[in-house]
Structure 1
Amino acid sequence: MADQEEDFSSLPLPDRLAHKNWKVRKEGYEAAKKEFDRAANESDPVVRQFIQDPSLWKAAVADSNVAAQQEGLGALCSFLQVAGQAGCTRTRNLTITSIVEKGLAATRPAAKQAALEALMLYIELDRAEPVIEELLPMLSHKQPKIIAATLNALTAIYHAYGCKTVEPKPVLKVLPKVFGHADKNVRGEAQNLTVEFYRWVKDAMKPLFWNDLKPVQQQDLEKLFEKVKDEPPPKQERLLRSQQEAIDSAPPGGEAGGEDMEEEEAAFDLEPEYEAVDVFPKIPKDLQERLSSSKWKDRKEALDDLHTAINHPKIAEGPFDEIVRSLAKCMKDANIAVVSIAGNCVELLAKGLKKGFAKYRSTIIGPIIERLKEKKQAVTDALGAALDAVFAATSLGECLEDILEALKHKNPQVKLESTRFLIRCLKTTREAPQPPEVKSIADASTKLLTESQEVQRSAGAEVLGTLWKIMGDRIMAAHLEGLDDIRKAKIKEYYESAEVKAKYKPKAAAPPPKAAAAPGPKKVLGGKKPAAVKKPAPPAARAPSPPPESAAPLAPKPSSRPGVSKLAGPKSSIAGPSAGAGLQKRAPGLARPAVATSPRKLVSPVEEPPAAVPALKFGMGRGLAGRPLGKPATVAPEPLSASVPSGLSAVERAELDELRAEVERLRRTNEEMRSERQRLNSEIHELRNQNAQLIEDHTRDVLSIKAKETQLVRARSDAEAAEQTVASQQREVDRLKRELSRQVRATSPAPLDVSDQIYSELNGGAGRYDNHAAQSYVPGYGGRNLAGRSYVTSPSEGKENLPDSGRHKLSPGRPAGLSRPGSGATGRASPALAGSNEDGPLSRSASSGSAGGQGPAESWRRAAEVTQSLKARIEMMKVGSIRC
């Protein structure tokens, strides 16, 4: 026993911590804890010894004796408190596993508490990620009690530091595995951890693991969520060492930053992490060629292939310029199926590239907004989803110009859908718009309140209500001032029901510079006088002014001079009440004479006459900084007398007035520049509107010209078809005429043969015609005149001239050689003539008259009958030809 006590006092701490006797180790841990508590910082030799040999702590936290282990964990906590980041980073890889297996699962509550405190210190001294990485493998331990203890420690860590400091994604991903564990204690601790996550991130955590749980587990968790749903937002209870240093080093007015951080605790980005995929090998090589096809089915199939290729949660960066331009061109496609699939492709591309898609925004957002005129809801939904994805990849400020331009569109559908897009942007943005942007949005939305359609007015009111929710009452009061009560009530309804993620916070960084600049003159007033004597030129000692109250004992000496009070009054009246009021309040009779005590003014030589003072002081026009302070002669031109302090005070007042005038001029200049900027912006908007109108008119004219050209081509083709039809009909008419002519010639005897027959019968018959017999004229047929052939002579002439054919009187159209058809002179008659003479009625009547010995009257009657029959047949032929 005595030997053991001697060992306690003689052995150094490292040897005592590694001793085989647990009591020695226990007392060594206690002694080390006392040494660490007395150490000033990590440079202490005792602390440096354990930092350089961190393996000592691996055995300490895993000591086989529970009493010694408890003291070892306490010593580790004291060591971490004084060792800082160096001791944390050198020991955590060796101790965290043992702390979980031996400390968190220990049977003694004090040991558990010390182990948990050690984990908290490891996070506080550096960061949480390495500790979480060491704890996650413990969730797959074979012992359920180790898993349950680890989950309990994670719950305590997130409860103390919050999900903003400790990243929740790695733990959320493994929750489904522990929910499926067979041990009920593990499942219970998993529920507690999930509820703690819900307190911080609400439903934003569900996409990472919720679908992997069983329906019963989801229902149980929903019941637990209801209990904490209405609790106020949690706050971080423990701060990292870096956060503590930032708060300690912050200026007194920096507490607002901590409040802003607490208000933004609810904003978490818990999207699952995916590996970027290079989609270019999957995109068809002939995509551009297929998109230029004249068939809409080919274009749609090309876009379907592109949609399949880029359908990945995360897309690797690449040159997508040509693809985006092609998708923008597809927005003008006449087929709505092509437009819808193009919108889906834009959505996938924007979601996959995320912030990398921002450079393509100007190319695609305009064509998408222009195509919002489509009234089919499926197309509008696809385009709206594409716009939302583009906005998620950019920001409100980048998209605002295009949105405000669309709110002036003449198409009501485009205007309405653009307004709804603006509402979605305001509800989802995490950055509040700036006051100039608020003014633009409010002006455009106020114009929407006067639209003829109720849905447009409601959309404008919703924009103002959502904007009111973001910006607050003070900023929006000016924009809602001129509206009537009915519209204000409508806007108020949307304001109360709006759910936004951004909250406008005025910048509080501007006032501190102004407050810091104010003490500058005070330092000059109370500055060291010898410095002013040695360095008269620097601006820091430029302006003489009344000294502080500490210099008041010097005032009575110059105040005794006669004339000081007499000259002080007029000088103060010249400078004006604004400049002299403050000085008189501080020291009515003592402030001005005190200036004469300044060593700088007493030693400054007088080199210029007093007349030069006003020209120099009031003509500079650059304020106090523009005055050549290095020349004391210009500052104090008068000799040292009782009037010097008063003159300098008046100059100072003049300087102040000049500065105020300069500030006023700058304000006016800023106002003018602001109005000029607004005017130029309005001109730009007007020019853009005119340009858009001209483009639309040009497009309409081009379409009209193309329509006229199409009509002209169709008319030409119709004319050609009509001409072809007319030609074919004409050919058919000619053919029918020829056919009719052939039929007529085949069935009807020629009139020439009939006249020859009549002539032969009259010349060869026994009867004689009377001199008063009427002449018979047969109209021509086929262009031949047969009148002369139906002309007959009187009976006497016929009787006398029958023997002599040369003296026979013929009709004008008949040749002399044909006087007697039966003779040789008429031997040229055609066979048809012979046939007609044999078969015709005239030949039969002539032969019957000759045979019967009938008189001339009978012959004449028969000739008249033949003539009438010929006329009837000719008329029938004419009627037939006309019908053809």
Structure 2
Amino acid sequence: MAEEEPDFSSLPLTERAIHKLWKVRKEAYEEAAKQFASSPDETDACFTAWMMDPGLWKKAVMDSNVAAQQEGITALCAFLQYGGPSACLRTRGHCVGPLVEKGLSSARAGTKAKATEALLLFVELDTPGPVMEELIPFLSHKMPKLIAATVTAITSIYSQFGARTVDPKPVLKVFPKVFGHADKNVRAEATKLAIELYKWLKDAMKPMFFAELKPVQQKELEEAFEKVKDEQPKQERLLRSQQAAAAAAEAAGGGGDEGAEEEPEELDAFDLAEPVDVLAKMPENFDENIASTKWKERKDALDALYAVINVPRLKDNQYDSIMRALAKCMKDANVAVVTVAANCIEMFGKGLRKSFAKYRSVVMSPMLERLKEKKQSVVDALAKGLDATFESTSLTDCLEDIAEFSKNKNPNVKLETIRFLVRCLRTTRDFPSKPEQKQIADISSKLLTESQAPIREAASEAMGTLMKIISERAMNPYMEGLDDIRKNKIKEYFESAQVKAKEKPKAAPPPPKPAASAGPAKKPLGRPGLKAPVKKPVASSGYGQAPGAAAPPAAALPAAAPASRLGPKAPGRLGLKKPMGASSGLASPGRPKAAPPPQPVEEEEPPTPVVAPPKPRLGLGRGLAARPLAKEPPQAAVPPMQPRDNGLSAAEKAELEELRNERDRWEKQAREYAAEKAKMSQEINDLQLQNAQLIEEHTRDNLAIRAKEAQIIRQKSENDALGDEVLKQRREIERLKRELQRSVRSASPAPTDISEHVLNMNHNGAAGIGGMREMAGSRGSHRSPPHRESHHRESFASHGTSFSSEEKENNGLGIAGLDDRFGGSGMRGDRSSVFGRESAMSPPARAETPSGRASAADRIGDWKRAQEVTSQLKLRIEQMKAKQAMPGRSSRQSEY
């Protein structure tokens, strides 16, 4: 038997929404959607738990189970629909991103539809801006599928709410990137979005992205735009704020119909583009070239200016000098310069819009005067410049210049001026006032009698357009005195004219307030003898009227007014304020003060208030004549004065008191705010000073650090230079050492035994000299013959020369030097025989001292003798070289 599934219905709904079982979560979402749909209002308890924890909706949207995810998004739609704007604001930041990632990219069509509906609800309940800010980054996502789904959702938003409600600028900025995507589905969805935006924006959207597309894409879009060019889109879905405004207008009675009939202004490239700073891009030599005497340079300067300002929107800046230069160009003798200058004025007018109005007086009159030009291309350029100037101003601003130049002597100026007036009447949205209507009619009627037919036609068109604006009935006074032919012509233009100006209906007077059925009657205020502005008339008593007398009826008040003028003037006639309820008559001397007026009763029979004589105020009657002659009654007999009644009911008094208290609170709050503002200003100043000090210290520290770094770099460079110098010196020392060694080696004398042996050879005979000659002779040849080497060995061996091992070590350099001097190869070859005899020569030489070694003094003497012998030997070698250099040398060499 299978186990029964546990019942989770006892758990709270929010706990079931995050349960680990997807079926439990799905049932929780379904139950929540039913509770939201059956709730009476937005404050119901079923919304509270979901409001307190909006992260539950993020988990619902991103549910891992597709069935539970779909029910979760459906529950979110119900929550937004019945929860109102507060539910939207609570959950929008948590849900928009997950809806795009997991909802729009889902494989289930129902989940996609519900995700799109949730996004539309987020837009409807508040404003579309935050939702679009969340959607735009997904257009740069790595997944093409997600990008295409996002573009589809954006298309739905614009289709439902329109491009006038949802700002199209952020989407138009990323259009080139989306159209350049590698995925064809993304490009297809981008094309659909572009078509939807074109229905609302028309050609105004093209300057934003069209130039960055490929020619093939431009052609495809142009063909698609041509199909929907005549469609007039309508906003299918209203924001909650728009719904409330429409309901309020409908409740006001007829106001909503007028708003529905009024067409909203079309968006254009100016509204979509960002302002461009023109002065930063102006050519540097513009002022110089525009004032040049050569028309080519002037035209080039204007062409460069036109290239800079040919943008949809210009940044508002100071263009006074440029406008004066363009106005001066209107009088240029070269028509090419005039044409380009008019084009520049047109660009400035379109790029600045309302900000161009301050330059109208500078450029309009020169352009109207230049309309005398007969070349049509110049006239067309001037007309476009005038139209752009008018768009930045109003009909009232331009009417004086039009009236002045309509009287010009030149027929072309008259014709183009009246045509300009017709264009102004067609495009203006301001309904002309009565004086302006009369002025336009006078201008046109005078031109109806011109001799040239084009001027008469243009004047008739102006009259017909004016009639279209102000209606036929209002035009009748200006049509008197015209013949039937002209009247018929004007009516023809009236029937075909298209205008935008409409007369605003006069506001209906507010309905009268119904009289209160119960409650105390208001006491009216007013002067005696005049009809009160309120319902109940003011009681008045004439001069000498007894207190407590009945007041005359309201109908008798005007008749009694002249009689009151015969009496003395009341204080109120001098412009002075009277106490409330005082009569116009003056009390007789000695008359006691009247009792206070009785309490008001029902309005059917208003009682006559008893009026007390006014007290003299502001210096009136302060003289002795104003004092009563009779003795005044005691003050105790006079009843206390009642507080002055301003004719306000208790509710109005309470409201007045409440308003006064509120004013006091606002004044107190304003004082607190002023004190807080002063305190914050002081803190800002202190912080600015601290910031300046910190910046100064930071700058000083940076300079010190840079100085230290410079020192370190300098020291490093010096150290490197010193290292190079040390290395150079070391190399020089090594070189000197080697030179010294070579010099010592070359300057070292032969061992003492050799010198003695040489001396013995010198003294013993020619055999040694002959051997030496042979050795010297071998120096000249490159290689000695074998018989010579053997001869040298025999000559050295015959003399029994020998060296010891110690002398061999000490005098090796000398032997080497001697070997070199004796011809190199020959001596080197005999060196072994010489050194071989060293052992035989050393014992007798060492035996001279008791220790077997020569003393230092003996060695010094030996070296000196060796040097002398060496010098003599060098001399003899030179002599032998000289002898061998004689001509007989070649013959002796041949004998050998």
TM-score, reference length from structure 1: 0.55
Once residues 627 and 445 of structure 1 are traced to their aligned partners in structure 2, the CA distance between those partners, rounded to angstroms, is 57
| Contact 1:178–1:187 (CA under 8 A) maintained in structure 2 | yes
Once residues 229 and 313 of structure 1 are traced to their aligned partners in structure 2, the CA distance between those partners, rounded to angstroms, is 22
What letter corresponds to residue 325 of structure 1 in structure 2?
Answer: R
Within-5 A mapping of 1:642-681:
none
Once residues 405 and 616 of structure 1 are traced to their aligned partners in structure 2, the CA distance between those partners, rounded to angstroms, is 60
Once residues 538 and 257 of structure 1 are traced to their aligned partners in structure 2, the CA distance between those partners, rounded to angstroms, is 44
Within-5 A mapping of 1:243-392:
243-250=242-249, 252-253=251-252, 255-257=254-256, 259-261=258-260, 263-265=262-264, 267-271=266-270, 273-283=272-282, 288=287, 291-292=290-291, 296=295, 299-300=298-299, 302-304=301-303, 306-307=305-306, 310-392=309-391
| Contact 2:428–2:501 (CA under 8 A) maintained in structure 1 | no
What letter corresponds to residue 74 of structure 1 in structure 2?
Answer: T
Higher mean displacement: 626-635 or 357-366: 626-635
Name the residue aligned to 1:801. Answer: none
What letter corresponds to residue 10 of structure 2 in structure 1?
Answer: S
Q: By how many angstroms is 1:380 displaced?
A: 2.2
Q: By how many angstroms is 1:486 displaced?
A: 3.4
Q: By how many angstroms is 1:22 displaced?
A: 1.0
Q: Aligned pair in 2 of structure 1 residues 130, 543: CA closer, same or farther (>3 Å)?
A: closer
Q: Aligned pair in 2 of structure 1 residues 467, 99: CA closer, same or farther (>3 Å)?
A: farther
Question: Does 1:531 find its partner at 2:521?
Answer: yes
Q: By how many angstroms is 1:366 displaced?
A: 1.6
Once residues 345 and 100 of structure 2 are traced to their aligned partners in structure 1, the CA distance between those partners, rounded to angstroms, is 49
Name the residue aligned to 1:125. Answer: 125
Name the residue aligned to 2:458. Answer: 459
Within-5 A mapping of 1:271-670:
271=270, 273-283=272-282, 288=287, 291-292=290-291, 296=295, 299-300=298-299, 302-304=301-303, 306-307=305-306, 310-434=309-433, 436-471=435-470, 475-476=474-475, 479-480=478-479, 483-495=482-494, 497-500=496-499, 502-508=500-506, 510-511=507-508, 514-516=509-511, 519-520=512-513, 523=515, 528=518, 530-532=520-522, 542=532, 605-606=549-550, 613-615=560-562
| Contact 2:18–2:56 (CA under 8 A) maintained in structure 1 | yes
Name the residue aligned to 1:95. Answer: 95
Once residues 632 and 324 of structure 1 are traced to their aligned partners in structure 2, the CA distance between those partners, rounded to angstroms, is 69
What letter corresponds to residue 9 of structure 1 in structure 2?
Answer: S
Within-5 A mapping of 1:104-253:
104-141=104-141, 145-172=145-172, 174=174, 189-190=189-190, 192-208=192-208, 233-250=232-249, 252-253=251-252
Once residues 584 and 240 of structure 2 are traced to their aligned partners in structure 1, the CA distance between those partners, rounded to angstroms, is 57
Once residues 612 and 491 of structure 1 are traced to their aligned partners in structure 2, the CA distance between those partners, rounded to angstroms, is 57
Once residues 159 and 472 of structure 2 are traced to their aligned partners in structure 1, the CA distance between those partners, rounded to angstroms, is 35
What letter corresponds to residue 238 of structure 1 in structure 2?
Answer: R
Q: Aligned pair in 2 of structure 1 residues 528, 121: CA closer, same or farther (>3 Å)?
A: same
Secondary structure (helix, strand or coil) at the match of 2:75 reads: helix
What letter corresponds to residue 329 of structure 1 in structure 2?
Answer: K
Once residues 537 and 300 of structure 1 are traced to their aligned partners in structure 2, the CA distance between those partners, rounded to angstroms, is 76
* Cα displacement string for residues 286-315 of structure 1 (whole angstroms, at most 9, x for unaligned residues): 655655555555544554554455455443
Q: By how many angstroms is 1:29 displaced?
A: 1.6
Once residues 39 and 558 of structure 2 are traced to their aligned partners in structure 1, the CA distance between those partners, rounded to angstroms, is 73
Secondary structure (helix, strand or coil) at the match of 1:614 reads: helix
Question: Does 1:25 find its partner at 2:42?
Answer: no
Q: By how many angstroms is 1:478 displaced?
A: 5.5
Q: Aligned pair in 2 of structure 1 residues 283, 212: CA closer, same or farther (>3 Å)?
A: closer
Q: By how many angstroms is 1:363 displaced?
A: 1.9
Once residues 217 and 291 of structure 1 are traced to their aligned partners in structure 2, the CA distance between those partners, rounded to angstroms, is 41
Once residues 149 and 246 of structure 1 are traced to their aligned partners in structure 2, the CA distance between those partners, rounded to angstroms, is 33
Once residues 213 and 431 of structure 1 are traced to their aligned partners in structure 2, the CA distance between those partners, rounded to angstroms, is 40
Q: Aligned pair in 2 of structure 1 residues 377, 150: CA closer, same or farther (>3 Å)?
A: same
Q: By how many angstroms is 1:59 displaced?
A: 1.9
| Contact 2:418–2:462 (CA under 8 A) maintained in structure 1 | yes
Secondary structure (helix, strand or coil) at the match of 1:507 reads: coil
Q: Aligned pair in 2 of structure 1 residues 207, 545: CA closer, same or farther (>3 Å)?
A: same
Q: By how many angstroms is 1:115 displaced?
A: 1.9
Question: Does 1:9 find its partner at 2:10?
Answer: yes
Once residues 223 and 290 of structure 2 are traced to their aligned partners in structure 1, the CA distance between those partners, rounded to angstroms, is 53
Once residues 538 and 246 of structure 1 are traced to their aligned partners in structure 2, the CA distance between those partners, rounded to angstroms, is 45
| Contact 2:205–2:272 (CA under 8 A) maintained in structure 1 | no
Task: Let me know the Cα RMSD of the aligned residues.
Answer: 4.9
Q: By how many angstroms is 1:122 displaced?
A: 0.9
**Richer in helix (by share):** 1
What letter corresponds to residue 239 of structure 2 in structure 1?
Answer: L
Secondary structure (helix, strand or coil) at the match of 1:440 reads: helix
Secondary structure (helix, strand or coil) at the match of 1:386 reads: helix
What letter corresponds to residue 374 of structure 2 in structure 1?
Answer: K
Q: Aligned pair in 2 of structure 1 residues 371, 245: CA closer, same or farther (>3 Å)?
A: same
* Cα displacement string for residues 92-145 of structure 1 (whole angstroms, at most 9, x for unaligned residues): 233223223433344544433322221121111111122233333444555555
| Contact 2:531–2:557 (CA under 8 A) maintained in structure 1 | no
What letter corresponds to residue 530 of structure 1 in structure 2?
Answer: P
| Contact 1:314–1:353 (CA under 8 A) maintained in structure 2 | yes
Q: By how many angstroms is 1:339 displaced?
A: 3.0
| Contact 2:246–2:256 (CA under 8 A) maintained in structure 1 | no
Secondary structure (helix, strand or coil) at the match of 1:530 reads: coil
| Contact 1:147–1:186 (CA under 8 A) maintained in structure 2 | yes
Q: By how many angstroms is 1:504 displaced?
A: 0.9
Once residues 169 and 480 of structure 2 are traced to their aligned partners in structure 1, the CA distance between those partners, rounded to angstroms, is 47
Q: By how many angstroms is 1:345 displaced?
A: 3.2
Q: By how many angstroms is 1:27 displaced?
A: 1.9
* Cα displacement string for residues 162-185 of structure 1 (whole angstroms, at most 9, x for unaligned residues): 232223344455556656667666
Q: By how many angstroms is 1:433 displaced?
A: 4.1
Q: Aligned pair in 2 of structure 1 residues 33, 498: CA closer, same or farther (>3 Å)?
A: same
* Cα displacement string for residues 632-685 of structure 1 (whole angstroms, at most 9, x for unaligned residues): 9789xxxxxxxx99xx9xxxxxxxxxxxxxxxxxxxxxxxxxxxxxxxxxxxxx
Once residues 236 and 629 of structure 1 are traced to their aligned partners in structure 2, the CA distance between those partners, rounded to angstroms, is 63
Higher mean displacement: 209-218 or 262-271: 209-218
Q: Aligned pair in 2 of structure 1 residues 157, 486: CA closer, same or farther (>3 Å)?
A: farther
Secondary structure (helix, strand or coil) at the match of 1:165 reads: coil
Q: Aligned pair in 2 of structure 1 residues 495, 119: CA closer, same or farther (>3 Å)?
A: farther
Q: Aligned pair in 2 of structure 1 residues 101, 297: CA closer, same or farther (>3 Å)?
A: closer
Q: Aligned pair in 2 of structure 1 residues 453, 616: CA closer, same or farther (>3 Å)?
A: farther
In structure 2, runs of 5+ residues without a counterpart are 540-546, 586-603, 609-896
| Contact 2:289–2:298 (CA under 8 A) maintained in structure 1 | yes
What letter corresponds to residue 117 of structure 2 in structure 1?
Answer: E
What letter corresponds to residue 237 of structure 1 in structure 2?
Answer: E
Once residues 557 and 35 of structure 2 are traced to their aligned partners in structure 1, the CA distance between those partners, rounded to angstroms, is 77
Identity %: 52
* Cα displacement string for residues 181-206 of structure 1 (whole angstroms, at most 9, x for unaligned residues): 67666566555545544544455545
Q: Aligned pair in 2 of structure 1 residues 227, 286: CA closer, same or farther (>3 Å)?
A: closer
TM-score, reference length from structure 2: 0.55
| Contact 1:471–1:503 (CA under 8 A) maintained in structure 2 | no
Q: Aligned pair in 2 of structure 1 residues 66, 441: CA closer, same or farther (>3 Å)?
A: farther
| Contact 1:616–1:634 (CA under 8 A) maintained in structure 2 | no
Secondary structure (helix, strand or coil) at the match of 2:263 reads: helix
Name the residue aligned to 1:763. Answer: none
Q: Aligned pair in 2 of structure 1 residues 374, 25: CA closer, same or farther (>3 Å)?
A: same
Q: By how many angstroms is 1:368 displaced?
A: 1.8
Q: Aligned pair in 2 of structure 1 residues 176, 491: CA closer, same or farther (>3 Å)?
A: farther
Q: By how many angstroms is 1:24 displaced?
A: 1.8
Name the residue aligned to 2:672. Answer: none
Once residues 53 and 344 of structure 2 are traced to their aligned partners in structure 1, the CA distance between those partners, rounded to angstroms, is 59
* Cα displacement string for residues 496-533 of structure 1 (whole angstroms, at most 9, x for unaligned residues): 55455x2414234x21xx243xx24x52xx55463246
